[in-house]
Amino acid sequence: MLLAEVNEITQPRLPTIEQIRDYLEAEGWSARAPGPAGSMWFRNDGSRIGIPDLDGEDPFLVQGILERLARVEQKDPRFVTNYVRYYRTDVTLLQAASDQAPSETIPLGAASTVINAARAILRASGTTAWSERSHIAGNYSTQGDAVLERARMDHTLQGPFMIPVLVPLPRTQAPGITQQSNESLELFRAAPEPFERRVTRTLAQSLLAVQEVIVQPERMPTMRELHFAVDRGVSREFCTALSKILEEPSIGEFKAQFEWAPAVSAPETMPRTIELPADAREKIDHAAEILKRTRNEPRSIFSGGIVELRHVPEDPWGYITIATVRHGRSSEIRVRLSYNQYQEAVSWHSKHRAVIVEGSVQEGLNRRLVVDKPVSCRPIDEALLPDDDNVPIPKQTSARDRNGR
């Protein structure tokens, strides 16, 4: 874990008793009826740990619980401490590296800029996670703003100036994984990712899109290329916030590192670290100006995690179901794929890779939303620059055909 690595030379902060109980319950421990001093938790292998009832947080008692838990799990106590503390929290570590000699400080004004820009980046991602927009123009989504309100800033960490932005995930009773395989049907069903995770994932894939579409190429991006970035969450507001960080004279590089909450399966192929040099600001400013001047026409594009795999033996087609957002509502859309494509999608699902689909959405049996003939279906974290030989030029459609993220 990145947080464990960062805290190698510092004492990690302790989780709360409630966080410990949440972790134990989620990991299969069960509590007996509580007594006057607390409760005893048991695991199937016979292990047991006592959790006292506390009016406040006693660090010595909490440390003792974690040490016993570490012995049971045969792990380093420092690792267990961080793992439990952030078990249900996505963490984005934002680092502004000074262009001077290595230093643990930066000017106060630059620090203020980074914190304000971090909020702007997360807010823009919360909106484009709900519905992609090249220019938000003040029309932020209430769903994204609700995630922003629950987000926290953790204490800064020792080392280069770095702030942890925490996005807690809900503790919901999500439907369990179901699997069926027989002569008539192969079916796998899993719970969708929480919207809070979708926001942080959108932030990560937006930074990746900025890096690959806007910064790395030697030339300025075209509008067609910016379409690919917008489909992944980039907006004019997102670019503007990044530019404000990079224009600080004392900042030579901006870096974001992502630590995904263990409670929810994370995208295995999404880069854990994304870096942007200060000299990328001109390109990012240029992209922001294009996105402000030119509104992207709505297209039949949607994205999300695969929550269902369905195939009838010997059928040349397979079906995947994507949990997404459409017309301002959480939706599930079934996509028909050739069997070879379906097998690829099975691999994507096993790595928890979100996908992006282009195609006309129709209403099928029982009012189920379906895409029978997708124009494209691919992982959202694949190389983003369009390949003229393989990726069709995005079509412009009417607003009635729009499918949100």
- DSSP class per residue in 184-240: S-EEEE-PPPPHHHHHHHHHHHHHHHIIIIIISSSSPPPHHHHHHHHTTT--HHHHH
Q: What is the pLDDT of residue 391?
A: 41
Q: Which helix (H) or strand (E) holds 163?
A: strand 162-168
Q: What is the pLDDT of residue 395?
A: 36
What angle in degrees, to the nearest 10, is found between the helix axes of 77-85 and 59-73?
110
Q: How many other CB atoms sit within 10 Å of the CB of residue 333? A: 21
Alpha helical stretches, state H, 253-404: 281-293, 339-350
3-class DSSP state for residue 323?
strand
What's this model's pTM, rounded to 2 decimal places?
0.87
3-class DSSP state for residue 33?
coil
Write out the DSSP string of 57-119.
--HHHHHHHHHHHHHHHTS-HHHHHHHHHTTTEEEEEEEEEESSSS-S---HHHHHHHHHHHH
Q: What is the pLDDT of residue 10?
A: 53
Q: What is the pLDDT of residue 102?
A: 58
End-to-end CA distance of the chain: 30
Spatial CA neighbour of 362 closest among 393, 326, 386, 318: 326
Q: What is the pLDDT of residue 101?
A: 55
| Distance separating alpha carbons of residues 80 and 212, to the nearest angstrom | 35
| Distance separating alpha carbons of residues 51 and 62, to the nearest angstrom | 9
Write out the DSSP string of 353-369.
--EEEES--EE-GGG-E
Q: How far is CA 110 from CA 102, 137, 190, 236, 285, in A?
A: 16, 25, 44, 22, 19
| Distance separating alpha carbons of residues 399 and 345, to the nearest angstrom | 29
Q: How far is CA 188 from CA 15, 163, 251, 333, in A?
A: 35, 39, 48, 15
Beta bridge partners of residue 121, listed in sequence order: none
Burial class (CB in 10 A: 0-12, 13-18, 19+), 131: buried
Identity of residue 239: C
3-class DSSP state for residue 303?
strand
Spatial CA neighbour of 231 closest among 320, 304, 292: 304
Q: What is the pLDDT of residue 385?
A: 59
Q: What is the pLDDT of residue 285?
A: 95
Question: Which pLDDT tens digits describe the chain residue by residue (405 residues)?
Answer: 555 554 444 567 899 999 999 999 999 999 988 887 889 999 988 899 999 887 667 888 899 999 999 999 999 999 999 999 999 999 999 988 776 655 677 888 988 999 999 999 999 999 999 999 999 999 999 999 999 999 999 887 776 788 899 999 998 755 556 666 666 788 898 889 999 999 999 999 999 999 999 999 988 888 888 988 999 999 999 999 999 999 998 888 999 999 999 999 988 888 899 999 999 999 999 999 999 887 655 568 999 999 999 999 889 999 999 999 988 889 999 999 999 999 999 999 999 999 999 999 998 888 899 999 999 999 999 866 555 444 433 333 333 333 344
